[in-house]
Amino acid sequence: MLTDRKKWFFKGLKDGIPIMLGYFAVSIALGISARNAGMTAPQATIASALIMASAGQYIGFTLIAASASYAEVIVMEAIANARYLLMSTALSQKVDPKLPLRHRLLMGLWITDEIFGVSVSVEGRLNPWYNYGMAAVATPGWALGTLAGVVLGNVLPVRVVSALSVGLFGMFMSIFVPPMRKNRIIAALVAVSFAASYAFNAMALFSGISSGMKIIILTVVISLGAALLFPVEGEDGHAA
């Protein structure tokens, strides 16, 4: 059991490295927005270390800059982060049903798009130590990138930031592409998701909707459609 923990924790540390690099790059922009909102370096760094949500923090910082009410900030934060409800539900089916409460409470701290994406793709049951390993390297990446954004502003070469920022998408692709080879329904689903996401972004009708909201609407509609048309049989179902 102990060696199992160790194995998963170290695997998490290793798989967390690309997340850390991507986070560092992406959160520089977030740090710049925090500075523009009048936040200090410690405030922005603490916010990032705790909250770890790109869209959510960006919206929050914008509202802080506008001196919005606490209630407004909380409501917008809930909307921007609503997709984590789905991710948390999926993880609840991925962990051992007997997993103790303390591990569930800890795992919840670090449900981000990337940590979720990587952890949900492991074979069989998910060991929480895998998430802790990833969080241990990803969190400093996110917090220090934010700090760098506040302190350095636009000093970093744009080309470097631009290159680093696609790292996260590369990770996403390495997760959703391999199953496309084995499962034609998933292949079709990814194609539909690309097309729908493109259309959703292109239509002026939806331009007022936040990106977090778009993700959740598309995810619910497309996944539900797929579930009704192509229900998954047997063991496969809980591999999600």
Partner 1 sequence: MQHNVYLYILGMWAVSYLIRVLPLTLIRREITNKTIRSFLYYVPYVTLAVMTFPAILSATQSPVSGALALVLGLALAWFGGSLFQVSVACCAVVFVAELAMGL
CB of 39 to partner 1, least distance (A): 6
CB of 52 to partner 1, least distance (A): 8
Q: Which is nearer to partner 1, 7 or 183 (CB)?
A: 183
**Bridge partners, residue 95, by sequence:** 126
CB of 144 to partner 1, least distance (A): 17
Binding mask 190-209 for partner 1 (x = CB under 8 A): x--xx-xxx--x--------
Q: Which is nearer to partner 1, 70 or 208 (CB)?
A: 70
Q: Is 85 in the site for partner 1 (CB under 8 A)?
A: yes
Backbone phi, psi, residue 124, to 5°: 65, -145
Q: Is 213 in the site for partner 1 (CB under 8 A)?
A: no
CA distance 192 to 124: 27
Scanning 4-12, 139-147, 148-156, 179-187 for contacts with partner 1 by CB under 8 A, the matching segment is 179-187
* Beta carbons within 8 Å of 82's beta carbon, 6+ residues apart: 212, 213, 216
* Token pair 């680093």 in the structure block, residue: 164
Q: Is 154 in the site for partner 1 (CB under 8 A)?
A: no
Q: Is 93 in the site for partner 1 (CB under 8 A)?
A: yes
Q: Which is nearer to partner 1, 3 or 124 (CB)?
A: 124
Alpha carbon of 216 to those of 19, 134, 205, 224, 225: distances in Å?
22, 24, 17, 12, 14
Q: Which is nearer to partner 1, 50 or 152 (CB)?
A: 50
Q: Is 188 in the site for partner 1 (CB under 8 A)?
A: no
Residue 156 contacts residue 31 (beta carbons within 8 Å): no
Q: Is 152 in the site for partner 1 (CB under 8 A)?
A: no
Q: Is 224 in the site for partner 1 (CB under 8 A)?
A: yes
Q: Is 237 in the site for partner 1 (CB under 8 A)?
A: yes
Scanning 5-13, 36-44, 135-143, 144-152 for contacts with partner 1 by CB under 8 A, the matching segment is 36-44
CB hemisphere CA count around 238 (13 angstroms):
11
Spatial CA neighbour of 26 closest among 160, 117, 135: 160
- Going 200 to 178 to 223 to 104, the CA torsion angle's sign is negative
Q: Is 130 in the site for partner 1 (CB under 8 A)?
A: no
Question: Using the 8-state DSSP alphabet, how is residue 67 labeled?
Answer: T
* Token pair 């997760």 in the structure block, residue: 175
